[in-house]
Structure 1
Amino acid sequence: MLLLRMPEPATVTDGIAARHPGDIGIETDPDVFFVERFDEGTIASLVARYEDVLNQGDLSFVADVPSGSTASNSLLMTAVGGARSGAHLFKNLAADGRAQDDTVYLRYYVKYRSPFTPHHNGVWMGGANPPRDWPNPQAGTRPAGDDRFIVATEPVTSTMRLDNYVYWKDMHSDPNGNYWGNDFLQDAGLRAPLDEWMCVETMVKLNNPVTTSNGELAFWINGAKKNHLGPGFPRGSWIWDSFHPGNGSAFPGFQWRTDPALNLNWIWLEHYADNTPAGQESQMQLAHVVAARSYVGCLS
């Protein structure tokens, strides 16, 4: 029998960040396992802490931070149309024993500068078996269940509509049989603003045991929960690779993995804007990236 569980209230106010104003000392919280403030003196010292770096010359620090921040800088990532599609920083959490086997919350601040041409722009997380020191999304193909999964929250259309972008073993294909990241909310009014800081938080709960589909997915924008999926909720239907909440069947939950060796073991700070017009720049700023085992929340 499928038991239906009601999702949590839309807004949570008792996150980790509430206990650490300005994120000061947030790295000392026992639930926090990754913090990136971009407070290094040089880009060279920043990238030295990551396993894979793309286009280091398109990374720079800027003295522009979100409200409530105690940091001096954020990270500016630049794509140049016709020349370079963007930049990234990839962290292999397994390299120093920080891979996670249960629930992960990933919070960050992002600002999309106008003019902006989206494709994949934000902070992704996921798992690879075996762990890797570089990103390997295998775009267009469905994971087998024992090899990989990907979870992101980002603009998924040219209108900057926000949604999840997810790869896992039970994902749906497009009409041509290709497997691109699935989305789940379809709210045309939920769009990422330009030239404004936005607080994004994504939650993934891995399925335990691995034979079940009791995994979950949720995301918050500026502290307000926008979507939550798990075993038995919400109801909705699929149109190709997009889930539409509303009338339909209960969502079965996520079987993120079929092998316990596959856990959440990477974080990817990604700015990929390959459709930027020639000679134009697409720029994204990131600040206050925190990954934890409980809800983080926005800066307080």
Structure 2
Amino acid sequence: MCHWSSHAVAVAFLISCVQTLTEPAKVVAQDESIPKSPISAVDKSQLPSGDGLAAAFEADRGIEQHRNVVFADDFEVEALGGKWDEINDRGNALSFIHPHANSSPTKHPQLGNRSLKVTATLGKNTGGGFTKWFSSADRLFIRFYTKFDQDCDYVHHFCTLRANKSLQGAERWSGFGGAGKRPNGEERFSTAIEPWGNWGKWNPPGRWNFYSYWHTMSASPDGKYWGNGFRPDTQPNIERGKWICVEMMIQHNTPGMDDGEQAYWIDGELRGHWKGFNWRTNSTLFANALTLESYVTDRWTKQSENIVYFDNVVIAKEYIGPASNAN
């Protein structure tokens, strides 16, 4: 276990570059070397909703023993970041707290006795979080619980799944950085589930949104390649002060084909499912690193202190669903 290396600090700086979200429905003039994207929303998705594999594990206890679970952390036992590979805790942004400290203890007994608290303070730090590298699969599901403090403002970066060339050495960093640049389909792609404020039009922290980079993505109006956004046409604002179950799925494409997918669920409800992604050009490139973080900048965030909580993180090869209640 280590704190961020000098290479990681440089990566974090690249990631922190100002980014502009491109609406997926508004395609600007595109590099002629990039084929037109066939991505479309799935109207009648066959993906599951409601209970998933987690229903068999009370409060997620023992869920890591399931044959299709790759990684799990409920923050109950280990030291801070004990199950993760990298810790970003500059400015002492990370701590543990009881998940019911500021709410009724009967609301979410499935979250146990300890949750991760991320405190981002303008002028002191940008927040923080953890990164985990793992052995991937053709289809991946990432599930976690989160809560935004009542005064939490807009968040610049949240939870990101990245594809890196390898799990070893410098190649495990190939999926980090590169803000504003179109990825090489043999080196990297990424997708993040995060709140988006629509340039301040929606109350903070905003609404759920995919923020994705891949080699056939659309350019932004400035000609650079900032992340492309994917979300349903309508959905409610994210409610602050409430624990939320968030799950995302990615299906890797067959290299040379547009058969990749992504989807996300909120509290077991499927909010959006998209097909037609050409995530990669090399069959050895897989999404293999999860960064769980709350990261803010003073571009959109004006509240001096911004607190986000996380709990019950699971990475699996099948739909996970909400955690079951503890008796």
The TM tier, using the shorter chain, reads 0.7 to 0.9
> Residue 81 of structure 1 aligns with which residue?
122
Query: How far apart, CA to CA, are the structure 1 residues paired with 2:176 and 2:55?
Result: 35
Give the alignment partner of residue 192 of structure 2, picking from 124, 133, 152: 152
Q: Compare 81-90 and 118-127 and name the one that shifted more.
A: 118-127
Cα shift at 1:267: 0.7
> Residue 220 of structure 1 aligns with which residue?
265
Contact kept in structure 2, 1:91 and 1:267, CA below 8 Å:
yes
Partner amino acid for 2:116? L
Partner amino acid for 2:281? T
Local SS of the residue matching 1:21: coil
Contact kept in structure 2, 1:24 and 1:70, CA below 8 Å:
no
Partner amino acid for 2:127? G
Q: Which residues in structure 2 correspond to 1:66-215 (within 5 Å)?
A: 67-93=108-134, 99-131=135-167, 136-157=176-197, 158=200, 159=202, 160-208=206-254, 210-215=255-260
Local SS of the residue matching 1:196: coil
Contact kept in structure 2, 1:15 and 1:295, CA below 8 Å:
yes
> Residue 309 of structure 2 aligns with which residue?
285
Contact kept in structure 2, 1:145 and 1:257, CA below 8 Å:
yes
Partner amino acid for 1:28? Q
Query: How far apart, CA to CA, are the structure 2 residues paired with 1:62 and 1:133?
Result: 31
Q: TM-score, length-normalised on structure 2?
A: 0.75
State, as a whole percentage, how many aligned pairs show the same letter. 31
Let me know the Cα RMSD of the aligned residues.
Answer: 2.4
Give the alignment partner of residue 50 of structure 1, picking from 63, 85, 89: 85
The 1:195/1:51 distance shift into structure 2, 3 A limit, reads same
Q: TM-score, length-normalised on structure 1?
A: 0.81
Task: Output one character per residue of 1:225-264: Cα deviation in whole Å (capped at 9) or x when no partner.
Answer: 011111xxxxxxxxxxxxxxxxxxxxxx011110122112
Q: Which residues in structure 2 correspond to 1:13-52 (within 5 Å)?
A: 13-40=50-77, 42-43=79-80, 46-47=81-82, 49-52=84-87
Task: Output one character per residue of 1:93-121: Cα deviation in whole Å (capped at 9) or x when no partner.
Answer: 2xxxxx21300000000111132222334
Cα shift at 1:125: 1.1
Partner amino acid for 2:267? N
Query: How far apart, CA to CA, are the structure 1 residues paired with 2:180 and 2:123?
Result: 24
Local SS of the residue matching 1:55: coil
Task: Output one character per residue of 1:197-220: Cα deviation in whole Å (capped at 9) or x when no partner.
Answer: 111100000012x11111111000
Local SS of the residue matching 1:27: helix
Query: How far apart, CA to CA, are the structure 2 residues paired with 1:263 and 1:216?
Result: 13
Query: How far apart, CA to CA, are the structure 1 residues paired with 2:157 and 2:242?
Result: 15
Query: How far apart, CA to CA, are the structure 2 residues paired with 1:229 and 1:189?
Result: 16
The 1:261/1:133 distance shift into structure 2, 3 A limit, reads closer
The 1:71/1:104 distance shift into structure 2, 3 A limit, reads same
Give the alignment partner of residue 295 of structure 2, picking from 267, 272, 278: 272
> Residue 258 of structure 1 aligns with which residue?
281
Contact kept in structure 2, 1:123 and 1:269, CA below 8 Å:
yes
User: Could you list the runs of 4 or more consecutive aligned residues of structure 1 that deviate by over 6 angstroms after TM superposition?
Assistant: none
Local SS of the residue matching 2:228: coil
> Residue 296 of structure 1 aligns with which residue?
320
> Residue 13 of structure 2 aligns with which residue?
none
The 1:101/1:41 distance shift into structure 2, 3 A limit, reads closer
Aligned residues: 267
Gaps of 5+ in 1: 94-98, 231-252
